[in-house]
A and B are shown apart, each in its own frame.
Chain A
Amino acid sequence: ETGVTQTPRHLVMGMTNKKSLKCEQHLGHNAMYWYKQSAKKPLELMFVYNFKEQTENNSVPSRFSPECPNSSHLFLHLHTLQPEDSALYLCASSQDMTSGSYEQFFGPGTRLTVL
């Protein structure tokens, strides 16, 4: 996960809280991603940004709201979450979206628990 940082690493929140996850990449990449990782399930792509523009919203509920102010930073704003939203949220980056040959680099993730 070198080069991609995520904060906080752990987050516990109630269903009525509002919180934000932060991701920062130091690799000079232009594409950034949010994934959800739940036990025994494949990684779920949530959002994709390319050159700060959102290019993918994979039918994610509106209680998750992404923000990409520049190519190095990505946020995931959370509000009125449900217990089933508890998971590991991973941020990733890649060179850009123009070639599928570019591998993605992942951050360490934020372990989210919704009570």
Chain B
Amino acid sequence: AQSVAQPEDQVNVAEGNPLTVKCTYSVSGNPYLFWYVQYPNRGLQFLLKYITGDNLVKGSYGFEAEFNKSQTSFHLKKPSALVSDSALYFCAVRVGVEVTGGGNKLTFGTGTQLKVEL
């Protein structure tokens, strides 16, 4: 079975400090990995994805994530956090095989609440 784990319910960081939000996955075959962010009373917004190629993926708002196959991880990072980054972050992995009807079914983690303080 495919799954995603976000081990931290909440991450607190001071503004200007680097931040990391952790994600590990379990999937058969090669994973497609995604990060989404959700602000209060809003839907999920796509941040970045890993499909293949360079293990370091850059996304929106200065975020990046590093794919580590040996550790089955896809941690989200940002060099310098902003108060406006405070939100709920979801990691997701694609399940199924790349055929019609199963190719885009995402399994999400439970989310990590990021709080950036002054």
Question: Is A65 in the interface zone, CB < 8 Å from B?
Answer: no
Q: Give Cα A106–Cα B42 distance, bound, in whole angstroms.
A: 9
Q: Give Cα A46–Cα B16 distance, bound, in whole angstroms.
A: 39
Name the prevailing secondary structure of the B interface residues.
loop
| Chain B residues in 8 Å Cβ range of A100 | 32, 94, 96, 98, 103-105
* B46–A48 CB distance below 8 A: no
Q: List residues of chain A with CB under 8 Å of any chain B CB.
A: 1, 4, 6, 31, 40-43, 45, 48, 50, 55-56, 90, 92, 94, 96-109, 111
User: How distant is A2 from chain B, measured CB to nearest CB, in Å?
Assistant: 9
| Chain A residues in 8 Å Cβ range of B90 | 43
Interface residue tally of chain B, by bracket? 20 to 34
| Chain B residues in 8 Å Cβ range of A4 | 43
* B59-85 contacts to A (CB < 8 Å): none
Between A and B, 18 residue pairs with Cβ closer than 8 Å are A1-B42, A4-B43, A40-B110, A42-B4, A42-B108, A43-B44, A55-B100, A55-B101, A90-B44, A98-B99, A98-B100, A100-B98, A100-B103, A101-B32, A101-B51, A103-B46, A106-B36, A106-B45
How many pairs of residues, A versus B, come closer than 8 Å at their CB atoms?
77
Q: Give Cα A42–Cα B108 distance, bound, in whole angstroms.
A: 6
* B105–A48 CB distance below 8 A: yes
Known contacts: A43-B90, A50-B101, A97-B100. The answer to whether A104 contacts B106 by CB under 8 A is: yes
* B104–A104 CB distance below 8 A: yes
Q: Give Cα A31–Cα B101 distance, bound, in whole angstroms.
A: 10
| Chain B residues in 8 Å Cβ range of A48 | 104-105
Q: Give Cα A74–Cα B116 distance, bound, in whole angstroms.
A: 36
User: How distant is B26 from chain A, measured CB to nearest CB, in Å?
Assistant: 14
Q: Which of B43, B100, B103, B105 contacts A90 (CB 8 A)?
A: B43
In chain B, what residue has the closest Cβ to A45?
B105
Q: Which of A1, A56, A102 contacts B43 (CB 8 A)?
A: A1
In chain B, what residue has the closest Cβ to A56?
B105
Known contacts: A90-B44, A103-B49. The answer to whether A43 contacts B98 by CB under 8 A is: no
Q: Give Cα A13–Cα B43 distance, bound, in whole angstroms.
A: 22
Known contacts: A100-B32, A101-B32, A101-B51. The answer to whether A56 contacts B45 by CB under 8 A is: no
